[in-house]
């Protein structure tokens, strides 16, 4: 397997070390990086993230990482976004206002809203815990995994791509939402592979071996 170096971007808003340890567990050489120069020379790039959309985008802008991330993606090298790292790829996020994202994938990031539904009390926000992936065929990230594999989620917002063809998996939480996307060299998950035990490790191993 082609285990190239994995570069994980540290911009102060990710559970970096658990992501790094999970990659190391599957034999990948994963390191944490902080600068634009590090991004430019990365062989594979991971953008993790937990927290608020606006704060994350603001931090990436202040650290002058937005341009280098877009350039990296345009180069065709493998890219993985995790949780907030998925959401920031989109045009706009609506968390406490309206905030411009990285604009890599057309679409928006919206909040779960079950108000007025008879089952609203059962549908918790944030969506937290284990849930199933309904996997579309042909995505190398999910090689070796059965449909309806369980992964771990913690989120109140979800992505709505303008083009359904980028949707790689869906998950049911009151609605069927896009729980991961793929376009060319860009892969991104709403769930946390690093917290998803054997299934998550297999996903990270597949990414490392692209």
Number of alpha carbons in the 13 Å side-chain half-sphere of residue 113: 6
- How does pLDDT run along the chain (210 residues), one tens digit per residue? 455 689 999 998 878 999 999 999 999 999 999 999 999 999 999 999 988 999 999 999 999 999 999 999 999 999 999 999 999 999 999 998 999 999 999 999 999 999 999 999 999 999 999 999 999 999 999 999 999 999 999 999 999 999 999 999 999 999 999 999 999 999 999 999 999 999 999 999 999 999
User: Which tokens hold the place of 194?
Assistant: 């690093």
CA distance 104 to 147: 27
Q: Which positions are catalytic?
A: 83, 192, 194
Can you list the domains of the chain with their CATH numbers?
6-208 (3.40.50.880)
So what's the pLDDT on residue 1?
A: 45
Q: Which residues pair with 93 in a beta bridge?
A: 99, 109
């Amino acid at each position: 397997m082609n285990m190239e170096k994995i570069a994980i971007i540290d911009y102060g808003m990710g559970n970096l070390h658990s992501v790094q340890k999970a990659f190391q567990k599957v034999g990948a050489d994963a390191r944490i990086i902080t600068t634009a120069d590090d991004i430019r020379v990365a062989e594979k790039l991971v953008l993790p993230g937990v927290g608020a959309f606006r704060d994350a985008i603001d931090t990436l802008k202040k650290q002058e990482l937005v341009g280098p991330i877009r350039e990296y993606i345009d180069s065709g090298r493998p890219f993985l976004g995790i949780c907030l790292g998925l959401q920031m790829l989109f045009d706009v996020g609506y968390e406490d206002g309206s905030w411009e994202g990285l604009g890599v994938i057309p679409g928006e990031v919206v909040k779960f809203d079950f108000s007025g539904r008879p089952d609203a009390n059962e549908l918790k926000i944030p969506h937290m815990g284990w849930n199933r992936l309904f996997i579309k065929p042909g995505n190398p990230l999910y090689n070796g995994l059965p449909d309806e594999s369980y992964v771990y989620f913690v989120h109140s917002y979800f992505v709505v791509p303008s083009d359904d063809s980028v949707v790689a998996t869906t998950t049911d939480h009151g609605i069927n939402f896009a729980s991961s996307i793929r376009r060319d060299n860009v892969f991104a998950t709403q769930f946390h592979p690093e917290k998803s035990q054997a299934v998550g490790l297999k996903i990270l191993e597949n990414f490392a071996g692209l």
